């Protein structure tokens, strides 16, 4: 049951528990509250360099908890224009604030309409409830 | 259909606390309650409370009991007086490690505390040795009759003392004593042992008493319920091996750095011939600690390299909550095993720089 999990309605979601938030001409990407809770204490986040290309549904990095590592999948295809370097010193922000301070990358999408094809908040809630 | 998971007497408590549960060694066990890092740090600064009832507890009694213990294990149990305990190994005929365990001398017999995953195998092995040698000894499995709780951390003695009639300051490390819990006057065996590198105690008592004592201990704000996730990060920081990772049948005690618990001078035991042949030379590979400045976390089976050439494999790795960087244990070629040796570990296709360090990563604070 997902009662306790936060799923903001201002963004879209992937089946792999990433979120995508359109902000002007870029898309902000991170992992969901459900994902951070499943992972446990995040200790390291591996993110791509600025300027690298990411492809929708392909892995762009990894997030490590004490017990295991999980791949991160990009919601959209495009170019990485920012990465959250503060997560090196504060990986716990992914747990404490997965939708705000725990953001991971900004992508300049090849086609911003790609975001429309992702799950909305209701769709994602149904996924985690299943 | 595989066997269903075993439940300890405290399983309901863990579920009621909202613990993340997972199978471990055939048992349904709590991995974490509030979080691995918080539970780990709390154990190092105050006291963590562990349900250890999955560990196998075996008793050996009878005229041949000492004989059986001495034939099965590598350390010299004859050096123990009643109440004393020792870390030891059970090897196969080739000197490979079947189990690591703690052997306790009782007033009239022996207690062995074994890994949950190996309990059935150890019982079979001991039974076979007894039959083969026509040894007059009785083997009893107490695992399902008695709970085992652990309290570990610098506050353990202060927290536990008012609850037991045993004088804890005079209970030495690796010693055990029978006493009673003040509440209910219930019998308890208290041993000053643990798997964290901290001072602490393990309590063996009836299941009903264990439930009361668990609840009572958690009422103390200095105590936090602590799961297997933190148990693993604590023992890894303390440089302690885990069977199935650092120890297995393909490993010799000498490779694992456990020469001190192999007493060839005590008489013959299973594997002693093979171990005698190995004891003089340098093992070709050794278990070492590896330190990383930062970055990705090394995990079991990740390759270890030196100057681009493979030299070994990680056995256990984690992020150290106390040191705040990744740490690992690994078997590496002896030529690459000196403290300070520069190595790399392949993590998701990249070579992460690391160096060999002496174990433990975090100094032990056990009472000597």
pLDDT at B259 over 80: yes
- How high is the pLDDT of residue B295? 87
- How high is the pLDDT of residue A2? 53
Asked if B297 and A43 come within 8 Å (Cβ–Cβ), the reply is yes
- How high is the pLDDT of residue A34? 96
Q: How far is CA A38 from CA B112, B171, B177, in A?
A: 37, 41, 42
Calculate mean pLDDT across residues A91-104.
97
Mean confidence (pLDDT) of chain A: 95
- How high is the pLDDT of residue B368? 65
Q: Is residue B341 very low, low, confident or very high in pLDDT (cuts 50, 70, 90)?
A: very high
The predicted-structure confidence for B264-316, as pLDDT tens digits, reads as follows 999 999 999 999 999 988 999 999 999 998 889 999 999 999 999 999 999 99
Q: Would you list the DSSP string of B219-273?
A: HSTTEEE--HHHHHHHHHHTT---BTTTBSTT--TTTTT-GGG--GGG---TTHH
Sorted by sequence, the CB contacts under 8 Å of residue B303 that are 6+ apart come out as B310, B312, B313, B314, B345, B346
Percentage of chain A modeled with pLDDT above 70: 98
Class of domain B11-55+144-237: alpha beta
pLDDT at A10 over 90: yes
Q: Does A96 touch chain B (CB under 8 A)?
A: no
Mutate to test the interface with A, among B19, B24, B35 (most CBs of A within 10 A): B35
How far is the alpha carbon of A61 from chain B, nearest alpha carbon, in Å?
A: 10
- How high is the pLDDT of residue B1? 65
User: Can you give the residue ranges of every domain in chain B?
Assistant: 11-55+144-237, 56-141, 284-357
Q: Is residue B119 very low, low, confident or very high in pLDDT (cuts 50, 70, 90)?
A: very high
Calculate mean pLDDT across residues B129-142.
97
pLDDT at B3 over 90: no
User: Measured between beta carbons, which residues in chain A are less than 8 angstroms from residue B318?
Assistant: 66-67
Map out the domains of chain A with their CATH numbers. 15-129 (2.40.50.100)
The predicted-structure confidence for A50-62, as pLDDT tens digits, reads as follows 999 999 999 999 9
CATH (residue range B284-357): 2.40.30.110
Asked if B348 and A66 come within 8 Å (Cβ–Cβ), the reply is no
The predicted-structure confidence for B41-72, as pLDDT tens digits, reads as follows 999 999 999 999 999 999 999 999 999 999 99
pTM of the model: 0.95
Q: How far apart are CA A28 and CA A20, in angstroms?
A: 6
Class of domain B56-141: alpha beta
Q: Is residue A1 very low, low, confident or very high in pLDDT (cuts 50, 70, 90)?
A: very low
The A residues from 64 to 93 touching B (CB cutoff 8 Å) are 64, 66-69, 88
Q: Would you list the DSSP string of A39-93?
A: H-SEEEEE-PPTT-EE-TTSEEEEEEESS-EEEEE-SS-EEEEEE-GGGGT-TTH
Asked if A67 and B321 come within 8 Å (Cβ–Cβ), the reply is no
Q: Are strands B309-320 and B223-225 parallel, antiparallel or unpaired?
A: unpaired
- How high is the pLDDT of residue B281? 86
The predicted-structure confidence for A17-73, as pLDDT tens digits, reads as follows 999 999 999 999 999 999 999 999 999 999 999 999 999 999 999 999 998 999 999
Is the predicted ipTM greater than 0.90, yes or no? no
């Amino acid at each position: 049951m997902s009662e306790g999990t936060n799923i903001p309605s201002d963004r879209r979601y992937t089946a792999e528990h990433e979120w995508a938030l359109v902000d002007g001409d870029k898309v902000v990407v991170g992992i969901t509250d459900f994902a951070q809770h499943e992972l446990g204490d995040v200790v390291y986040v591996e993110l791509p360099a600025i300027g690298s290309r990411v492809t929708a549904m392909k892995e762009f990095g990894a997030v490590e908890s004490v017990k295991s590592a999980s791949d991160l999948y990009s919601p959209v295809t495009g170019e990485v224009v920012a990465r959250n370097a503060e997560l090196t010193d504060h990986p716990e922000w992914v747990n404490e604030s997965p939708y705000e301070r725990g953001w991971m990358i900004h992508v300049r999408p090849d086609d911003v309409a790609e975001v429309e094809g992702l799950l909305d908040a209701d769709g994602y809630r149904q996924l985690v409830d299943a | 259909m595989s066997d269903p998971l075993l439940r300890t007497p405290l399983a309901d408590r863990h579920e009621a606390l909202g613990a993340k549960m997972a199978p471990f060694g055939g048992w349904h066990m709590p991995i974490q309650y509030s979080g691995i890092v918080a539970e780990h740090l709390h154990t190092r600064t105050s006291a963590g409370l562990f349900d250890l009832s999955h560990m196998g507890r075996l008793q050996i009694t009878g005229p041949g009991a000492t004989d059986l213990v001495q034939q099965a294990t590598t350390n010299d149990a004859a050096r123990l007086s009643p109440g004393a305990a020792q870390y030891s190994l059970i090897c196969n005929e080739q000197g490979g490690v079947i189990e690591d365990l703690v052997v306790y001398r009782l007033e009239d017999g022996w207690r062995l505390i074994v890994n949950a995953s190996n309990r059935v195998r150890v019982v079979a092995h001991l039974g076979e040795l007894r039959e083969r040698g026509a040894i007059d000894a009785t083997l009893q499995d107490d695992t399902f009759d008695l709970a085992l709780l652990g309290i570990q951390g610098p506050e353990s003695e202060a927290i536990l003392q008012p609850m037991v009639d045993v004088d804890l300051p005079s209970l030495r490390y690796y010693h055990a004593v029978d006493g009673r819990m003040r509440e209910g006057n219930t019998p308890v065996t208290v041993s000053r042992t643990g798997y964290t590198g901290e001072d602490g105690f393990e309590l063996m008592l009836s299941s009903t008493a264990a439930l009361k004592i668990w609840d009572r201990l958690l009422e103390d704000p200095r105590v936090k319920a602590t799961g297997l996730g933190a148990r693993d990060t604590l023992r890894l920081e303390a440089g302690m091996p885990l069977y199935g990772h650092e120890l297995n049948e393909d490993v010799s005690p000498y490779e694992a750095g456990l020469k001190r618990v192999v007493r060839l001078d005590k008489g013959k035991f299973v594997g002693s011939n093979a171990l005698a042949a190995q004891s003089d030379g340098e093992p070709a590979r050794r278990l070492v600690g590896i330190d990383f400045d930062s970055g990705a976390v090394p995990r079991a089976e990740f390759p270890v390299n030196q100057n681009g050439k493979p030299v070994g494999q990680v056995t256990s790795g984690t992020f150290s909550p106390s040191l705040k960087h990744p740490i690992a244990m690994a078997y590496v070629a002896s030529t690459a095993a000196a403290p300070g040796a520069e190595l790399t570990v392949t993590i998701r296709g990249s070579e992460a720089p690391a160096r060999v360090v002496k174990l433990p990563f975090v100094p032990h604070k056990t009472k000597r």
